[in-house]
């Protein structure tokens, strides 16, 4: 598993528990062709009480750090919390929608976008619903990827 696979795992977990979310920050900027170095993913989440246990259960220790009480307290107080893959030393920042009232405006305007990951290559991101894939490399082939590489795709919520 690499960092991008972990981020997809977090998004997939949010999808499975039907927790409203939106990818923000540098990772979301890739969908608009903005290339910025980032070492984590920022996800604005609207977690409810029923979401905490199923989310934590998808990231069991010792491999993962997903503290149930931290999720509850952070959401109540509007403080960012993390899901951490301790094996890879990477994290996802989950930002409660309760953090800032102005976030609700952006959250209401979120749209579904397609993200595709090909191991070892990154496509050139572009306009809406164009694929985004993993680690950086020079352009090769269609959308900068090698056709023979394994691919995972996902639709997720992002900025409009």
pLDDT of 111 strictly over 60: yes
Weakest mean pLDDT among 9-13, 130-134, 156-160: 130-134
Query: Are the C-beta atoms of residues 38 and 25 closer than 8 Å to each other?
Result: yes
| pLDDT above 50 (res 65) | yes
Mean pLDDT of 117-145: 36
Give the three-state DSSP class for 68: helix
Phi–psi pair at 84, nearest 5 degrees: -125, 135
pLDDT at 80 over 50: yes
Q: Is 31 exposed, middle or buried (0-12, 13-18, 19+ CB in 10 A)?
A: buried
Does 66 or 39 have the greater pLDDT score?
A: 66
Confidence check: pLDDT of 106 > 70: yes
How many other β-carbons are positioned within 10 Å of the β-carbon of residue 124? 15
User: Is 0.75 surpassed by the pTM of this model?
Assistant: no
| pLDDT, position 93 | 95
Of 75, 64, 77, which is closest to residue 19 (Cα–Cα)?
75
- Name the strand (E) or helix (H) holding 102: none
Average pLDDT, the chain: 75
Q: What is the pLDDT of residue 130?
A: 33
Segment 82-95 mean pLDDT: 95
Percent of the chain surpassing pLDDT 70: 62
Residue ranges per structural domain of the chain:
3-158
- Phi, psi (rounded to 5 degrees) for 151: -130, 145
Q: What is residue 81's predicted lDDT score, i.e. its pLDDT?
A: 96
């Amino acid at each position: 598993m690499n960092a991008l696979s972990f981020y997809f795992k977090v998004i997939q977990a949010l999808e499975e528990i039907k927790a409203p979310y939106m990818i923000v920050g540098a990772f979301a900027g890739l969908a608009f062709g903005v290339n910025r170095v980032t070492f984590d993913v920022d996800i604005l989440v609207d977690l409810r009480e029923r979401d905490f246990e199923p989310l934590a259960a998808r990231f069991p220790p010792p491999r993962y750090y997903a503290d149930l009480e931290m999720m509850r307290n952070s959401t109540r107080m509007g403080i960012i919390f993390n899901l951490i893959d301790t094996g890879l030393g990477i994290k996802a920042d989950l930002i409660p929608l309760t953090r800032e009232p102005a976030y609700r405006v952006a959250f209401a305007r979120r749209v579904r976008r397609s993200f595709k990951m090909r191991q070892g290559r990154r496509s050139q991101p572009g306009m809406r619903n164009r694929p985004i894939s993993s680690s950086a490399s020079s352009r090769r082939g269609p959308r900068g990827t090698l056709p023979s590489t394994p691919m995972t795709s996902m639709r997720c919520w992002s900025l409009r």
